[in-house]
Amino acid sequence: MSTDSAAGNRAASDEGVDDPILEIDDANVTYNDGETYVLNDASVSIDRREILGIVGESGSGKSMFASALLDAVPDPGVLSGQIRYHRNDGSTVDVLELSDEELRQFRWEEVSMVFQGAMSSFNPTMKIRTHFTETLKTHDRSVSEGIDFARGLLENLYLEPDRVLDSYPHELSGGMQQRALIALSMVLNPEVLVMDEPTAALDLLMQRSILQLLDDLQSMYDLTIVFITHDLPLVASLADRMAIIYAFQFAEIGPRDSIIGDSAHPYTRKLLNATPNIDAPLVEMQPIDGEGPAPVNVPSGCRFHPRCSLATEKCRAEDPQLDVFDEFDTDHRAACHHWQEAREEIPLNAGKASDWYDASDMADRTTNTQQSKTDGQPLLSLTNVDVHFTKEQGLLERFSGDPDTVRAVDDVSLDIQEQDLVCLLGESGCGKTTLGKTMIGLQRPTGGSVEYRGQDIWTADGSDSTISHDEIRSALQIIHQDPGSALNPNRRIVDILSEPLRHTHPNASTNECRSRIYSLLERVGMTPPEDFIDRYPHQLSGGEQQRVVLARALLMNPNAILADEAISAVDVSLRIEIMDLMLELQSEFDTSFLFISHDLSNARYFAEHGDGRIAVMYLGEIVEIGSAERLIHDPRHPYTEVLRWATPNLDLDAMEADDPPIREIDVPDPVDPPSGCRFHTRCPVAREVCRKEQPELQEINDGDGKAACFREHPDHEYWDSEPVEGAQRRNEPPN
């Protein structure tokens, strides 16, 4: 399904129409007998059939705003203000005045909610069909008619209705679960869909695909959508208008193009510049200093003033009102005393082109860089590595035949040099984490070998070993995706960081250990260290927790660190800061990094700043590897092109909806991967030979790196083979 008009065009076509479906006036959510605000004086009008994007950092109050729209604030929170809902028949209801029964009907039939975690939203003991039937019965709807409507919704979301309805939630992939949840939220045909981080747990390709599906569904079913997220580029391609929330207040509200291209609030402009962007010049991406305030420690005056370079005494004393500031753009409001100075002194990097790409020059530079790194023995070497898992079986399945085998990693060879940097990029389930853990000795391969400085990791401490197993384990460390779950909640930071020192410096005194910990905490930006050392993990922000995890890994004096989605759990505004810190410490501690990400913008920033490479994985195989600049400007594998398309872009000219360069949304089952080229079932240019023959990862022509695609070889039979069903005949053989 393709769209003929983007969000901006839809907004333009409705210009001048004033038809609000929800009006929120002075909405407040308080705790502690009204002393603590987690939503403060929120006022916004939501137009019928528009898509409003609500953007804010973690803990800014955006999810509380979503709960307020449905009068579903969790106890003991108190919601006040006015929330008026205008029905199609012209009547108006005050949501906060509805009875319990009226509210129950309102929440599903008129305003529906899609929560962040699809898995936690479904009952794991019930099939998807049962979720639909119970919802229909509860609201006295015809089950047969409702299921027929659900089938149509599932088909519009590119799902097989019978397969999905007859499955338990755990039998569906994350993307399929999220789409099924969207269909469930729409089964009563509501007017408004409130979506609270609905794609946060999904990789970029699935996120982008779901956003395109939402754009289609919005037009098809005349929906009003409130899309809440911390990821500004993600929602920018979908939204008609955007509202930026900071410290429990709206800082800026306006049309999408005005927010992205001509924002007025310093926070919005800094947030745009702090967002890793695939096209903007790297040198102009800058983190926002500091972090958002906690509800119990909100600054007086303008809440952003402690982090704002334009702050004056007036900002510290007076809280600016969210109001129209430009008579020529009355739909655009901002809460800032110095919006003119902000536009002048904080230039936006979005839409600026990065340096021009010269393929031959890039190939020479990359070859020279890699040649200097490949002198001598690799730090880590993977040779023909396989990692296969036996899929768990139920009681009845154990008697029905042999267990299925998941081919998580298949015949991968890769070298990591001293002080090297390699980013593993790919969709969820492609084998990135399994390969990373295999490389640092946390997962034993089922085939092939993993060597650390020439010593096989799994034969260390043998009779002919040259390096001990303990030495290898100390040299290879990991930074987990979720720093909160990686830290013992019952231990103070000083105790957590003292543990690795007991291994690396067993004879050090308590004072010596404290001195080392203080020094490293300062180095990772936690100053003064005495303010943090006696805290527990839950008393730290997400960015501070990530710094502690990084410090713990460095205390082992590692030669290589696996950073497994190490920045995905922190706010967009902090990602550049964390990546810069990791790159500085890599140089200072002579450490190699294996950086795992599903986000090409993050991988580009990390790889280009660290003179590293990006390795693209698909269904257990590396399908392309090369410099970030070459992969972005000149991708040689069709799957890399798909990841490039899926990466959100803040350039307004590049935001218009276009069809994805892919034939199927869902990844094939790794238990039974496709024959030949594994990507051929989704590839837009696959031909019959791709079904039968598997391409090898080989050096590419006129560029750096390698690719596993027949299109790189002008004499291959691919060019005389017929396209598979649904694929296109594109381009001639390369010269």
Note the pLDDT of residue 33: 87
Mean pLDDT of 194-209: 84
pLDDT greater at residue 357 or residue 568: 568
644 in the same domain as 715: yes
Bin 26: left if φ > 0, else alpha if -120 < ψ < 50, else beta: left
Mean pLDDT of 491-518: 90
382 in the same domain as 292: no
User: 92 and 85 in contact (C-beta within 8 Å)?
Assistant: yes
Confidence of residue 14 (pLDDT cuts 50, 70, 90): very low
Note the pLDDT of residue 6: 43
- Percent of the chain scored above 90 by pLDDT? 61
Q: List beta partners, residue 389.
A: 406
Note the pLDDT of residue 324: 92
User: 703 and 734 in contact (C-beta within 8 Å)?
Assistant: no
Give domain status of residue 201, yes or no: yes
Give domain status of residue 370, yes or no: no
pLDDT greater at residue 668 or residue 116: 668
Note the pLDDT of residue 362: 52
264 in the same domain as 195: no
Collapsing DSSP to helix, strand or coil, 54 comes out as strand
269 in the same domain as 381: no
| Least confidently predicted of 88-102, 384-398, 621-635, 715-729 | 384-398
The token pair that represents 193 in the structure block: 């869909």
How far is residue 199's CA from residue 208's CA, in Å, rounded to a whole number?
9
Note the pLDDT of residue 436: 95
Give domain status of residue 8, yes or no: no
pLDDT exceeds 90 at position 289? no
294 in the same domain as 228: no
Which residues span the domain enclosing 284?
260-345
Note the pLDDT of residue 109: 92
pLDDT greater at residue 718 or residue 573: 718
pLDDT greater at residue 692 or residue 508: 692
pLDDT exceeds 80 at position 732? no
At 583, which CATH number? 3.40.50.300
Confidence of residue 171 (pLDDT cuts 50, 70, 90): confident
Listed ranges 86-90, 481-485, 501-505; the one with the highest mean pLDDT: 86-90
652 in the same domain as 599: no
pLDDT exceeds 90 at position 237? no
pLDDT in tens, 250-287: 999 999 999 999 999 999 999 999 888 887 788 788 88
Confidence of residue 401 (pLDDT cuts 50, 70, 90): low
Note the pLDDT of residue 735: 59
Note the pLDDT of residue 575: 86
How far is residue 21's CA from residue 11's CA, in Å, rounded to a whole number?
16
Note the pLDDT of residue 315: 97
How far is residue 15's CA from residue 32's CA, in Å, rounded to a whole number?
43
pLDDT exceeds 50 at position 5? no
Indicate the burial class of 546 (C-beta count within 10 angstroms; 0-12, 13-18, 19 or more).
buried
User: How far is CA 729 from each of CA 716, 717, 722, 723, 726, rounded to the nearest angstrom?
Assistant: 15, 14, 8, 6, 10
482 in the same domain as 568: yes
Distance from CA of residue 376 to its chain's centroid? 37
680 in the same domain as 567: no
How far is residue 278's CA from residue 601's CA, in Å, rounded to a whole number?
5
728 in the same domain as 611: no
Mean pLDDT of 54-66: 91
How far is residue 682's CA from residue 666's CA, in Å, rounded to a whole number?
9
User: 610 and 621 in contact (C-beta within 8 Å)?
Assistant: no
**DSSP string of 641-667, one letter each residue:** HHHHHHS----GGG-S----S-S-SSP
Note the pLDDT of residue 16: 40
pLDDT exceeds 70 at position 337? yes
pLDDT greater at residue 376 or residue 486: 486
153 in the same domain as 99: yes
User: 288 and 307 in contact (C-beta within 8 Å)?
Assistant: yes
pLDDT exceeds 70 at position 703? yes
Average pLDDT over the chain, rounded to an integer: 88
577 in the same domain as 461: yes
How far is residue 321's CA from residue 335's CA, in Å, rounded to a whole number?
5
Give domain status of residue 255, yes or no: no
Give domain status of residue 273, yes or no: yes
Q: For the chain, how many structural domains are there in total?
A: 4
How far is residue 622's CA from residue 641's CA, in Å, rounded to a whole number?
15
User: 621 and 678 in contact (C-beta within 8 Å)?
Assistant: yes
Give domain status of residue 62, yes or no: yes
Give domain status of residue 350, yes or no: no
Note the pLDDT of residue 4: 40
672 in the same domain as 577: no
Note the pLDDT of residue 369: 52
pLDDT exceeds 80 at position 142? yes
Give domain status of residue 12, yes or no: no
Note the pLDDT of residue 9: 44
User: Does residue 528 have a cis bond before it (omega within 30 degrees)?
Assistant: yes
User: 192 and 186 in contact (C-beta within 8 Å)?
Assistant: no
How far is residue 205's CA from residue 642's CA, in Å, rounded to a whole number?
8
The DSSP symbol for 303 reads T
The DSSP symbol for 95 reads G
Mean pLDDT of 168-176: 87
Note the pLDDT of residue 368: 54
